[in-house]
Amino acid sequence: MEKETIGVLGSGTMGRGIAQVAAQNGHNVVLVDINEEALKTASNSLRKIMERLVEKGKWEQDFADKTFGRIKFSQSVNDFKDCSIVIEAIVENLDVKHKVFRDLESIVSNHCILASNTSSLSIASIGAVLQNPDRVIGIHFFNPAPLMPLVEIVPAVQTIDDTVNRAKKLIDGWNKVTVLAKDTPGFIVNRVARPFYGEALRIYEEGIADFATIDWAMTELGGFRMGPFTLMDYIGNDVNYAVTESVFKSFYYDPRYKPSFTQKRHSEAGYLGRKSGRGYFDYSENAVKIEPNKDSALGEQIKNRILVMLFNEAIDALFLNIASKEDIDLAMTKGVNYPKGLLQWSEEIGLEKVLNQLEGLFHEYGEDRYRPSPLLRRMVRDKKSF
Ligand code: NAI
C-alpha cells in the first residue's frame, strides 16, 4: 500500500531533517520553501548526508537513491494539496506562521493534519487562525532530527483526539520515541532542562567554580555526555539565551527561569560558541585547554546542586501534569541524552535528601528560585514513590 504523502514547510535545519526521516521511512515528501537558495542548500545537504551514510556502510546505494528520489523540492505550497499531514518548520515568528497556516488550510483537504515544529510558540496560538483548529498539533523534533529519537507531541486546547492519535501513530512508525506534552512553554525538554544551564551559570557567577570545573563535575561525576558550558557553546549562546528568555517571559517571569547576565554578555560580545570560534571556551587552533579543578568535594557540591534543581523541575512538571512520569523520564534520556531519567534518579538518591538540599538552598538564598515543588514535599511527607 502506498504510504501517505508528507508535507514539510521550511527547508532549513529542521525541515530538511524531518523530510529525510519521512522519506527514509518510505513516504513521498513534499518539501517547500519560499527561498530558492534554501531549497538548493537543503537538496545538496541531504544528498551529501545520504552519500556519507552509504560510504559508512549504513545505507545501500539503492536505498539512498530511492530515499532522495522520494523528496520533491518545491517553492509552492499548492504542492501540499494531496498531503495527509503538513509539518511546518519555518521561522519562529507567530505572524508569519499565522499567514502560512491560513494559506495551508485553503489548499489541503479537511482531513489533513496541520502540525508545527515550533519550540517556543503555543500551539493554541498557531491554531487560532484556522477555520478548523481541531487538526492543529505540535510535533516537536530535536536537532538533528534524523539522529535524535525523541519527538514531543503537543495537542493544543483545540486539538481533537483523532488528530493526536494519527500524529502519534505516524511518528511512532518512524522509529521515534514520542511523548505527549501539554501546550506549555518549553513543553517537556526545554522546560525541565533549564537548570542544567541556569544553575551552572549561577554557580559560575557566584565564583564557586570556573566553566571547566563545572563541566568536569557534570561529566565525570554526573555522567552527562557534555558539561553545561560545552553544551551551551555547542547550541550557541545566542540560541540558548533566546530560549531561556522566551521561557522566562512565557512563565510570567518566574524567577526559576531567570536568564543570566553572563550568557547575555557572551552572546552580545559575539562569543556564541563553536560556530563563532569562541564561547565560554576558545575553539581556535592554538587554544590552550583550561584544566578543571578536580577537587572532589567541590565537584560533588556542584553536581548535587545542579542535579537537585533538575529533579525539582522534573517533579514540578509532573505536579502540573505537563506529561506522565514515564514520558518525563523518556524525554530527558531520549531528547537530550541525560544518563538517567530525572524522576527515577531522584528516587535513587532519595527524595528526602533531595528535599533537604533544596530547603537548604532556599533558606540560604531566600530566593523563590529554590522553592521545592509541592509534589516533592508531599511525597516525602507521605513516604511515597513515583
Ligand atoms: P531555519 O532558519 O534553519 O529554516 C527556516 C526555513 O524556513 C528557511 O529555509 C526559510 O527560507 C524558510 N521560510 C521562512 N519563511 C517561510 C515561509 N513563509 N514559507 C516557506 N518557507 C519559509 O530554521 P530552523 O532552525 O530549521 O527552525 C524552524 C522551526 O523549527 C522553528 O519554529 C524552530 O523554533 C523549530 N525548531 C528548531 C530547532 C533547532 O535546533 N534549530 C529544534 C526544534 C525546533
Q: Which residue's CA is the closest to the ligand 1 atom numbered 30?
A: 89
Question: Does the annotation count 125 as an active-site position?
Answer: no
pLDDT given for residue 290 in this prediction = 93
- Domains, the chain, ranges and CATH? 6-180 (3.40.50.720), 191-381 (1.10.1040.50)
Q: How far apart are the first and last CA of the chain?
A: 43
Q: Residue 88: name the closest of 78, 76, 101 by CA.
A: 101
In angstroms, what is the span from residue 204 Cα to ligand 1's centroid? 33
- For residue 10, give the 3-state DSSP assignment: coil
d(CA 18, CA 8): 7
- For residue 180, give the 3-state DSSP assignment: strand
Query: What predicted TM-score, i.e. pTM, was given to this entire model?
Result: 0.95
Ligand 1 pocket: which of 13, 18, 80 to mutate (most atoms within 8 A of CB): 13
Q: Which residue's CA is the closest to the ligand 1 atom numbered 19?
A: 34
Which residues partner with 177 through β-bridges?
Answer: 150
pLDDT given for residue 284 in this prediction = 94
Q: Which residue's CA is the closest to the ligand 1 atom numbered 29?
A: 89
Q: Kindly state the DSSP code that residue 274 receives in the 8-state scheme.
A: G
Within the chain, where are the H helices? Answer: 13-24, 36-55, 61-69, 94-107, 123-127, 161-172, 189-192, 194-205, 211-216, 228-235, 237-250, 261-268, 296-319, 325-335, 342-349, 351-365, 374-381
Q: Residue 129: name the closest of 105, 159, 108 by CA.
A: 105
- Inter-residue long-range contacts of 199-202, CB under 8 Å, 24+ positions, other chains counted: 199/305, 199/306, 199/309, 200/227, 200/228, 200/229, 200/306, 201/228, 201/260, 201/262, 201/263, 202/260
- At 222-279, the pLDDT tens digits run 999 999 999 999 999 999 999 999 999 999 999 999 999 999 999 999 999 999 999 9
Is 31:54 a contact under the CB 8 Å cutoff?
Answer: no
Choose, from 28, 116, 119, 246, the residue flagged as catalytic.
Answer: 119
Is 117:134 a contact under the CB 8 Å cutoff?
Answer: no
Task: Tell me if 13 CB under 6 Å of ligand 1.
Answer: yes
Choose, from 122, 140, 237, 312, the residue flagged as catalytic.
Answer: 140
> 17-41: buried (b, 16+ CB within 10 Å) or exposed (e) per residue?
bbbbbbbbbebbbbbbbeeeebbee
Ligand 1 pocket: which of 90, 99, 107, 154 to mutate (most atoms within 8 A of CB): 90
Question: Does the annotation count 367 as an active-site position?
Answer: no
d(CA 15, CA 9): 7
Ligand 1 pocket: which of 80, 91, 126, 154 to mutate (most atoms within 8 A of CB): 91
Question: Does the annotation count 98 as an active-site position?
Answer: no
d(CA 116, CA 81): 17
pLDDT given for residue 188 in this prediction = 98
Q: Which residue's CA is the closest to the ligand 1 atom numbered 35?
A: 118
In angstroms, what is the span from residue 92 Cα to ligand 1's centroid? 7
Task: Tell me if 93 CB under 6 Å of ligand 1.
Answer: no
pLDDT given for residue 191 in this prediction = 96
In angstroms, what is the span from residue 71 Cα to ligand 1's centroid? 18
Q: Which residue's CA is the closest to the ligand 1 atom numbered 32?
A: 118
- At 110-160, the pLDDT tens digits run 999 999 999 989 999 999 999 999 999 999 999 999 999 999 999 999 999
Angstrom CA distances, 248 to 178, 194, 258, 325, stand at 26, 10, 6, 24
pLDDT given for residue 196 in this prediction = 98
In angstroms, what is the span from residue 142 Cα to ligand 1's centroid? 13
pLDDT given for residue 2 in this prediction = 80
d(CA 331, CA 63): 30
pLDDT by residue, tens only, the chain of 386 residues:
689 999 999 999 999 999 999 999 999 999 999 999 999 999 999 999 999 999 999 999 999 999 999 999 999 999 999 999 999 999 999 999 999 999 999 999 999 999 999 998 999 999 999 999 999 999 999 999 999 999 999 999 999 999 999 999 999 999 999 999 999 999 999 999 999 999 999 999 999 999 999 999 999 999 999 999 999 999 999 999 999 999 999 999 999 999 999 999 999 999 999 999 999 999 999 999 999 999 999 999 999 999 999 999 999 999 999 999 999 999 999 999 999 999 999 999 999 999 999 999 999 999 999 999 999 999 999 999 99
Grid-cell match 521550511, residue found: 10
Task: Tell me if 12 CB under 6 Å of ligand 1.
Answer: yes
User: Residue 81: is it exposed, middle or buried by C-beta count within 10 angstroms (0-12/13-18/19+)?
Assistant: middle
- C-alpha grid cell, residue 281: 571556551
Question: Does the annotation count 119 as an active-site position?
Answer: yes
